[in-house]
Amino acid sequence: MKTKTITYREALREAMDEELTRDDNVVIFGEEVAQYNGAYKVTEGLWSKWGDKRIFDTPISEAAFIGMGVGASMLGVRPVMELMFWSFHSVAFDQLVNNAANVRYMSGGQCNCPIVVRGPANGGTNVGATHSHVPEAIFASMPGLKVVSPATPEDAKGLMKTAIRDNDPVYVMESTVLYGMSGEVPESPDFTIPLGKAKVEREGSDITLIAHGGSVVPALKAAEELAEKHNINAEVVNLRSIRPLDQDTIIESVKKTNRAVIVDESKPFCGVSAQLITLIQEYAFDYLDAPVGRVCTIDAPAIYSPHIEAEQLPNQKRIVEKVLKVAK
């Protein structure tokens, strides 16, 4: 398949543009997504192309516009709603979790809720504790919701297109740190990535590093350092999708390498990493040569100081140190 090099931001925009073309029921709304082109310029140019009926701004009320999206989706609209930060999810928690997640179940399958809620969910930009939440574990714990976390421009386009076409709520956890990152993306408008399918970004034989979203970047850098300086060949698995989760790829990799370290920007307590360790313990325990390790965000509110926050998040140095302990 022919590819081109574009940024993560451009890949998200291209996915939405193609789906607006493909399906007249797709609409995009949120705070400043229209004339202003989005807080992070992800929707740049879409309003000028599609106009007010397909791309429109909302009041600064996540509870209001997420609720509107849930209601509209029950009538056949496919809303793509931008949260300026996923940290603002809490003011629309009832709409996101109680309503969207349960509509199809409570209606006996008579009503779908084909919404996409997207926006940045990451630390590392020094915007303080109230703007740096990584809440994928919260939503992934709720039956009825699907959660994805793109790590590359290819992920961003393929997962976004699949999310828009899905008949269930899909919450796309992006990263402001990745928006400017470039990568190869298939040019075909038919390109999609199925939910629940991980990707092995780097083949290895000595240990498995499992990561998603922004954590894939330091995991890959750590893998290179481990190979060059310590003669350790690490396999890196990019989850792409948190729920549904590609259990087979995870277990097959761990069975091959016999060791694992989870790299997860979530906090450690009740985070995604905790679920992954439970999974490995249940299905690959007899293959392990060492306890599963993990490198998470240090369990405290996001620290405003740039130098300290860089140490709070999973980084190359911390990953290498953990691997050396697990692999000794």
Give strand pairing partners of 147: 171, 243
Q: Is 136 exposed, middle or buried (0-12, 13-18, 19+ CB in 10 A)?
A: buried
Q: Which residues are catalytic?
A: 62, 131
Amino acid, res. 322: K
Contact indicator for 212, 240 with CB cutoff of 8 Å? yes
Q: Which two tokens stand for residue 38?
A: 């989005």
Residue pair 208/172 in contact by the 8 Å Cβ criterion: no
Separation between Cα atoms, residue 181 and residue 152, nearest integer Å: 8
* Torsion sign (Cα): 297, 302, 307, 310: positive
